[in-house]
Amino acid sequence: MKKKIALVTGGFTGESVVSLKSAAVVEKNLDLDLYDVFKILIYPGNWYHETSSGEKISVDLNDFSIVLDGSKITFDGVFNILHGSPGEDGKLAGYFDMLRIPYTTCDAITSAITMNKGYTKAIVQSIPELFVARSFHLFKNTEERREQILHDLRLPLFIKPNSGGSSIGMSKVKEPNELKEALDKAFAEDSQVLVEEFVSGREFSIGIFNAKGKTTVLPATEIVSSKEFFDFEAKYSPGVTEEITPGRMSEEEVERVNRICEKIYLKLNCKGAVRVDYFLEYETGKFYFIEINTVPGQTETSLISQQVKAIGMTIKQFYTDLIEEMFED
């Protein structure tokens, strides 16, 4: 009997557009000899499966089931490719936990914590050889806090919404008079904001996944951007960034990065495939943690896809490994 897999996409944020692109690639590469796949789209107040004829079949939220041609279909597992809320922040994971349906991504607690950049940094900063930029975690945009930031931190600064994964609302502040506007922009996207000292270094992004009883750290991708930082435009506009996989690192750097990233994965109790973004500081080569993404993009050109191909693995086999791993718990 083939397992029935719900491919979950959509979402409650602007990242739903990217989620749909990722889902299209996943759907195309899943092994249909092993799985019957049903794409489920999740929007506020509207969860449905769309048939090949375009009919929208509502999901029964009592048990996450659908009725097709008079037959009730329940799912053996969920392939979660929903970026942002509720797929990446723990809400969907908690729902599936209550229904006892396994899924390919991190559990509710890990998902909720890693969606919060400030809390994640507080947890990982004790890992040996890992550094974090000096920062402030803000809950309000007050003049007193702005004065404290300018007194305690060194310009330039990165200002970014504490949650959210597509770099919307980010700014680089070089002069004190730019701080208020940058904070206003970030607070328009989130109720919490992270203010970090700028780290001058080469930027990388690296995938890590667990399957067949072992944790695999993929080859890192080096991000060379014509923009000052890897914002939404740099991520999604062709030609703005150059992505080099494997990234240019010495043998010592590769070994150190792999060692650190496996510890990040284990310390945060990650599951499935995640992506860690980091800098290697220019002067020192130190590893500076930026953030972790627990539902990384899976488009044709996404970083994870590039990295999987770089180790000689097919995308189909990679997805099969992720699905089979969720049934091992």
**Cα 278 from Cα 87, distance rounded (Å):** 23
The rounded mean pLDDT for the chain is 92
For residues 169-181, give the mean pLDDT: 92
For residues 192-218, give the mean pLDDT: 95
Cβ-based neighbours of 208, under 8 Å, separated by 6 or more: 215, 216, 217, 218, 261, 262, 264, 265, 270, 273, 274, 275, 276
Q: Is the pLDDT of residue 164 over 70?
A: no
pLDDT of residue 162: 86
Q: Is the pLDDT of residue 230 over 60?
A: no
Three-class DSSP category at 34: coil
Q: Which tens digits make up the pLDDT trace of 81-95?
A: 999 999 999 999 999
Q: Give CA separation, 9 vs 81, 90, 130, 254, 268, in Å.
A: 5, 15, 33, 34, 24
pLDDT of residue 234: 47
Q: Are 261 and 253 in contact (CB under 8 A)?
A: no
Q: Is the pLDDT of residue 214 over 80?
A: yes
pLDDT band at 299; cut points 50, 70, 90 = confident
Three-class DSSP category at 3: strand
User: How many CB atoms within 10 Å of residue 213?
Assistant: 7
Q: Is the pLDDT of residue 233 over 70?
A: no
Q: Are 201 and 230 in contact (CB under 8 A)?
A: no
pLDDT band at 237; cut points 50, 70, 90 = low
The CB-side HSE value for 136 (13 A sphere, CA atoms) comes to 21
Q: Are 166 and 15 in contact (CB under 8 A)?
A: yes
Among 77-91, 129-143, 159-173, 220-234, the least confident range: 220-234
Largest CA distance in the chain: 67
Q: With the C-alpha atoms ordered 249, 254, 256, 258, is the resulting torsion angle positive or negative?
A: positive
Q: Is the pLDDT of residue 229 over 70?
A: no
Q: Is the pLDDT of residue 202 over 60?
A: yes
Q: With the C-alpha atoms ordered 234, 13, 192, 113, is the resulting torsion angle positive or negative?
A: negative
pLDDT of residue 272: 97
Q: Are 16 and 43 in contact (CB under 8 A)?
A: yes
**Cα 84 from Cα 91, distance rounded (Å):** 10
Among 42-46, 233-237, 280-284, the least confident range: 233-237
Q: Which tens digits make up the pLDDT trace of 26-75?
A: 999 999 999 999 999 999 999 999 998 889 999 999 999 999 999 999 99
Strand partners, 5: 37, 77
End-to-end CA distance of the chain: 20
**Cα 72 from Cα 81, distance rounded (Å):** 24
Q: Which tens digits make up the pLDDT trace of 105-156?
A: 999 999 999 999 899 999 999 999 999 999 999 999 899 999 999 999 999 9
Of residues 291 and 164, more confidence is placed in: 291
Cβ-based neighbours of 276, under 8 Å, separated by 6 or more: 205, 206, 208, 261, 264, 289, 290, 291, 292, 293
**Cα 95 from Cα 42, distance rounded (Å):** 13
pLDDT of residue 300: 81
Angle at which helices 251-267 and 117-124 cross, to 10°: 110
Question: Using the 8-state DSSP alphabet, how is residue 142 labeled?
Answer: -
